[in-house]
């Protein structure tokens, strides 16, 4: 009887801990990148990063998508962005993806996402200043200055906002 209880206890332990071990997230190891071509190393690391991010880590997934996209692997980056935007997502996800497109110099992709974000976040002074800066650097001074005025109405004592606006007039891209 004692042997049966011991076997049963061991079986329950294995069953109880098995799924926990099976779901263990991968960790970056030197085998992923040492001795590999840069692109292969990056791809292997980004695969791990996406798994580490899980389904609910949209900011982290956008970060991986950004590295893909700006690193020349646009198809992979776009797939990450599309997956996020096609499901339930936060307004901030739209904003962060728009930033990547702007950083890549793709205003035609960034603009509609920025506009969508601002439509639902009219009281975000920092976003108004940053997006206005992008508009100004794209040659739309009228829209930019309207956004700047809105930003200053909401927060006229924030040096970051003032610096975003000043930088835009000198062609300095905003920094996150």
Q: pLDDT 10s digit of each residue in the chain, 176 long?
A: 444 344 334 333 434 444 444 557 788 888 888 999 999 999 999 999 999 988 667 999 999 999 999 999 999 999 999 999 998 899 999 999 999 999 999 999 999 999 999 999 999 999 999 999 999 999 999 999 999 999 999 999 999 999 999 999 999 988 76
Instruction: Determine the pLDDT at residue 174.
Output: 85
Instruction: Determine the pLDDT at residue 23.
Output: 59
Q: Measured between alpha carbons, how far is 39 from 43 in angstroms, rounded to an integer?
A: 6
Domain 90-176: give its CATH architecture. Alpha Horseshoe (1.25)
Residues 6+ positions from 123 with CB-CB distance below 8 Å: 154
pTM of the entire structure? Answer: 0.82
Domain assignments of the chain as residue spans, ordered by start: 28-88, 90-176
Token couple for 104: 């890549």
Instruction: Determine the pLDDT at residue 8.
Output: 39
Calculate the CA dihedral of residues 75, 81, 85, 90 and round it to 10 degrees.
180
**What is the length of the chain?**
176
Instruction: Determine the pLDDT at residue 107.
Output: 97
Cα dihedral sign, 169-173-175-176:
positive
Residues 6+ positions from 10 with CB-CB distance below 8 Å: none
């Amino acid at each position: 009887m004692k042997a049966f209880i011991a076997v049963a206890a061991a079986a329950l332990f294995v069953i109880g801990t098995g799924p926990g071990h099976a779901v263990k997230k991968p960790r970056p190891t030197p085998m992923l990148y040492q001795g590999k071509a840069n692109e292969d190393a990056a791809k292997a690391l980004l695969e791990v990063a996406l798994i580490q991010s899980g389904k609910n880590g949209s900011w982290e997934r956008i970060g991986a998508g950004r590295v893909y996209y700006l690193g020349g692997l646009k198809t992979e980056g776009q797939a990450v962005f599309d997956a996020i935007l096609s499901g339930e997502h936060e307004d901030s996800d739209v904003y962060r993806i728009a930033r990547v497109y702007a950083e890549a110099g793709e205003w035609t992709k960034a603009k509609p996402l920025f506009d969508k974000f601002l439509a639902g976040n009219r009281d975000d002074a920092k976003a108004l200043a940053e997006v206005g800066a992008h508009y100004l650097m794209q040659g739309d001074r009228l829209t930019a200055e309207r956004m700047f005025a809105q930003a200053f109405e909401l927060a006229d004592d924030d040096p970051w906002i003032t610096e975003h606006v000043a930088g835009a007039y000198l062609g300095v891209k905003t920094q996150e």
